[in-house]
A = this chain, B = another copy of it.
Amino acid sequence: MKNVVFLIQCEDRKGLVCEITSFFFNKGFNIVNCQQHTDSANSRYFMRLKLDLAGMKTTREQLEKEFADFARKNSLEWSAHYSDITRRIAILATKESHCLYDIILRWKEGEFPCEIPLIISNHPDLEYVATQFRLPFYCVPVVNEDKESQEEKVLELLSKNHIDLLVLAKYMRILSKNFVQKYSSRIINIHHAFLPAFQGANPYRKAYERGVKMIGATAHYVTADLDEGPIIEQDVERVNHENDPEELKQIGKDIERIVLARALKAQLENRIIVFQGRTVVFS
């Protein structure tokens, strides 16, 4: 079944659900799913609409044009996502393989509706993983501390491959402001701590030193402010005094894997809307 998901947000006011659903109903669409959220404190309305494309009588261009008119009148921010336009994602990794493997394996098992045209790394170490699954692997190292030209090469690869979404699967480099802006709300990172605790480097060592009884991981959109992007998903695992930093790291891997996978799934299923640094993640 082909479908389209509309993600909508606007100032909250009376009659929104009825007006928006009527717009599509009057055009003959079947609404497969309709989810809403009202942020009362900020008087903000969020909607996720999934429409069956089967009975569509117009072109997509015309549908979008008409909805754009409707949206303009009603001051809606919106985006439309068609199920038959498969997202093309690039995985960026460095040396650790667990998140990279996890994404590839879930993708192979059909959990992620996307294509993976390439894997990019600043190190050659993970080439073998790409080879096992016959995926293109590009090693783009930073040479002579020239971060700028490394990022340029990466951006070129992304552009040439028509990449829609970047997944930082333990990519241990900080992206520049310029880079981030080019893929705003389209870069998902996994941070190996329960943010906002233990920002920055070596979170497992910091967690050990503080003696916390649980460790966590956080998947978030990358913004110019490091570790401050909108949080998509988090989870934790219980630890105790017997776990040294090395064991915390190993326990943490399982959380990282699962948290990143859930975030990527939510993104690919078009269930996330961002507003004021926070995410609405429909279930």
Contact = CB atoms under 8 A, between A and B. Distances in A.
Interface in A94-135: 97-98, 101, 105, 109, 111, 132-133
Interface stretch (A10-18, A69-77, A83-91): A10-18
B195 A278 contact: no
A160 interface: no
Nearest to A216: B214
Interface string A210-243: 1111101000000000000011111110101110
A150 interface: no
Contacts of A30: 14-15
B15 A18 contact: no
A60 to B, nearest CB: 20
Contact of A37 (B242, B253, B277): B242
Given A97-B109, A197-B194, A236-B236, A37 B211 contact: no
B34 A17 contact: yes
Contacts of A111: 250
A241 B15 contact: no
A25 B18 contact: yes
Given A105-B98, A194-B197, A216-B214, A25 B15 contact: yes
A33 interface: yes
Give the interface residue-count category, chain A.
35 or more
B236 A214 contact: yes
Interface in A182-220: 194-198, 209-214, 216
B231 A210 contact: yes
A223 to B, nearest CB: 12
27 contacts: A14-B30, A15-B31, A17-B17, A17-B31, A18-B18, A18-B31, A22-B22, A33-B38, A35-B36, A40-B244, A41-B244, A97-B105, A109-B253, A111-B250, A194-B197, A194-B214, A196-B197, A210-B278, A211-B277, A213-B232, A213-B233, A214-B216, A214-B235, A236-B236, A238-B238, A240-B281, A241-B281
Given A18-B25, A210-B277, A211-B231, 5 more contacts: A132-B132, A196-B197, A212-B234, A216-B236, A240-B283
